[in-house]
């Protein structure tokens, strides 16, 4: 695959736990992407309505609106359904993975988040999304 310029890409990190947000932000700092954060699902939807990211990293368990609900809302709208979503969960139940897939997530990572795994998955999914966009 040709080299893809990730400096044009944007990522929205969504987690109600400030420490988790800071940790993932620190992990992703080595990527040249623009990073934004939201502290819950409602804030995430508002942020996406203002400026669409290329990728959303979404915690599953949040107040006001769960990650499943946010994912479903993003994937149900024609204008946002191509946004790549990685769900992050401490849940290890098969039913949670099934529900995430049914909601339309592109990938999921379990907590505690591993830096190399996060960066590798984000980079790969962003590169695929940007290459796809270049052909549209």
Which tokens sit at 22?
Answer: 């800071």
* The domain defined by 6-130 carries CATH number 3.40.50.2300: yes
Burial of 61 (0-12, 13-18, 19+ CB in 10 A): middle
Nearest to 12, CA basis, from 131, 23, 39, 110 = 39
Residue-wise pLDDT tens digits, 41-83: 999 999 999 999 999 999 999 999 999 999 999 999 999 999 9
Q: At what angle do helices 67-76 and 41-50 cross, to 10 degrees?
A: 30
Residue 2 is predicted with a pLDDT of 56
Residue-wise pLDDT tens digits, 11-26: 999 999 999 999 999 9
Question: Where along the chain do its domains lie?
Answer: 6-130
Residues with Cβ < 8 Å from 90, sequence gap 6 or more? Answer: 60, 61, 110, 111
Instruction: Quickly tell me which residue has 């590798």 as its tokens.
Output: 120
């Amino acid at each position: 695959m040709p080299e893809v310029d990730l400096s044009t890409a944007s990522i929205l990190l969504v987690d109600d736990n400030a420490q988790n947000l800071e940790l993932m932000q620190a992990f992703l700092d080595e990527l040249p992407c623009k990073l934004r954060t939201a502290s819950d699902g409602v804030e995430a939807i508002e942020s996406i309505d203002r400026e669409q990211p290329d990728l959303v990293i979404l915690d599953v368990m949040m107040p006001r609106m769960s990650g499943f609900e946010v994912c479903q809302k993003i994937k149900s709208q024609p204008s946002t359904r191509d946004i790549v979503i990685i769900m992050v969960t401490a849940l290890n139940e098969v039913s949670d993975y099934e529900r995430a897939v049914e909601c339309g997530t592109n990938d999921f990572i379990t907590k505690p988040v591993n830096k190399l795994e996060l960066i590798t998955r984000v980079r790969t999914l962003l590169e695929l999304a940007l290459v796809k966009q270049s052909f549209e």
